[in-house]
Structure 1
Amino acid sequence: MAESSREAILTRIRQGLAQPAPLPPRPDFAAPVHPPLTNPDAVVAFAESFQRVGGEFYYCESPAHLAEQLTAFQKRRQVGAPYVWEPELQALLQAAGVAFLADETRFVEQADLGLTSCEALVARTGSILVAAATASGRRLSIYPDQHLVVARPSQVVAEIGDALRVVQARYGKQMPSMISLTSGPSRTADIEKTLVLGAHGPRRLVLFLLEEDEVSTPAS
């Protein structure tokens, strides 16, 4: 019995070796890595992805609407004026009647909110790409408890690669010293698999998408 079982196994092996498996089809290296976005409108796709990773999204029709949305956000969260260091954003908020902190007075002690621009918004992952080349530097998007971003619909791109090409086209050989791709609030579950927000950066990421108008997009 044992010998017949052995012979049966060897017979199957010989038959298998006599008919090797066909080679897999040659991959199409020119084909897109990702399937098309679930929503053909990249802005809507970004909003869906951004909220899916834990971001708070607010659409603003005008600077006045931005002021309303930002003021309402501050009241809900019971926080004060944001730190804003980029001149273009300062001018935008000042024209809209929004109070902000323009210097670094007591920044370390009371940096509840930091408001910055960004380089691009990635629809695929809901990520925000910021760089250290702006007046916000490295700190304003990382140190405050909550990171607020003002962006325009024209800054939405489909993929991360597209966002990196935007940065490359803007800065050329003078690339920023830091580029950060942020997908939702800072979080970790390293300790006993308990999710903790704000472990390594802001615990809340908020985007105010300001509709295009005659005012140019804040420089990044």
Structure 2
Amino acid sequence: MLSPREQLLGRIRSALAAGPAPAPPVPDWAAPVHPPLPAADLAVVFAENFRRIGGEFFYCETSAQLGAALRDWLAERLPAGQQFYVWEPAMQTLLASAKVPLQATAADFRTQAAVGLTSCEALVARTGSIVVAPATASGRRLSIYPDQHLVLARPSQVVAEIGDALRVVQARYSDHLPSMLSLTTGPSRTADIEKTLVLGAHGPRRLSLFLLEDDAETAA
């Protein structure tokens, strides 16, 4: 009967005689991590994922619908004595025609800025994220300081992946990239303390997106 030492050496010799172990499969580093999203339904995928992470989504087919939705939103959620700030000229013109009251300057911003409306660079369908840059008249403050952040976007701004959004920014600004990019995924939140979820810890407590059709201004 073989001793334990001889049995061990026998197994080693058998393993060596069988040749080297097969190499592990080589990953396909060029393959996408996720299956591709349906190009025709990117806006629907974005809306679903945006709502899933706590965002409020409003679809508006015309500028009149946008005006009605914003007036209802402000009537319900703008605190008394506080202001709705909009600093980008194109949006000021659009909302003025839709009869939406707004504060166009930074007057009393620190004390009365309950709600701010900004544009965005892109919408990422995969994660429901909004890419915001300070390269507009909204700057950095309007998307961060108010307790409630509103975003006005168009269906043509929806892209599938974060990489696609970065390429959109690169194409738009070329060598003059904005000083920062914010990838906003839902309202500001943290659960660092005793695993208790707190909204508004590092930025806006509520994030709402109004998706306005690209041809809304000419729609009947």
Matched, 1:213 2:215: yes
1:122-172 Cα deviation digits (max 9, x unpaired): 000000001010000001000000100000000000000110011111111
Task: Give the counterpart of 1:93 among 92, 95, 100.
Answer: 95
**Residues 58, 20 of structure 1: alpha-carbon distance in 2 compared, 3 angstrom cutoff:** same
Q: What 5-or-longer segments of structure 1 have no aligned partner?
A: none
Which residue in the other structure is 1:107 paired with? 109
Distance in 2 (alpha carbons) for counterparts of 1:186 and 1:142: 9
Q: What are the within-5 Å matches in structure 2 for residues 16-95 of structure 1?
A: 16=15, 18-37=18-37, 41-79=41-79, 81-95=83-97
Which residue in the other structure is 1:137 paired with? 139
Distance in 2 (alpha carbons) for counterparts of 1:54 and 1:13: 58
Distance in 1 (alpha carbons) for counterparts of 2:50 and 2:40: 16
Instruction: Answer yes or no: is the 8 Å Cα contact 1:81–1:99 preserved in 2.
Output: no
Instruction: Answer yes or no: is the 8 Å Cα contact 2:47–2:128 preserved in 1.
Output: yes
Structure 1 residue matching 2:143: 3-state secondary structure: coil
**Residues 35, 14 of structure 1: alpha-carbon distance in 2 compared, 3 angstrom cutoff:** farther
**Residues 81, 69 of structure 1: alpha-carbon distance in 2 compared, 3 angstrom cutoff:** farther
Which residue in the other structure is 1:120 paired with? 122
* Aligned residue identity for 1:26: V
**Residues 5, 151 of structure 1: alpha-carbon distance in 2 compared, 3 angstrom cutoff:** same
TM normalised by structure 1 equals 0.89
Structure 2 residue matching 1:47: 3-state secondary structure: helix
Structure 2 residue matching 1:149: 3-state secondary structure: strand
1:8-40 Cα deviation digits (max 9, x unpaired): 555545544545432122222332232122785
Distance in 2 (alpha carbons) for counterparts of 1:203 and 1:9: 65
Q: Which 4+ runs in 1 deviate beyond 3 A?
A: 3-21, 78-81
Structure 2 residue matching 1:144: 3-state secondary structure: coil
Distance in 2 (alpha carbons) for counterparts of 1:48 and 1:15: 57
TM normalised by structure 2 equals 0.89
* Aligned residue identity for 1:69: A
Task: Give the counterpart of 2:179 among 177, 180, 188.
Answer: 177
The alignment of Structure 1 onto Structure 2 pairs a total of residues equal to: 215
- State the superposition RMSD in angstroms: 2.2
* Aligned residue identity for 2:212: L
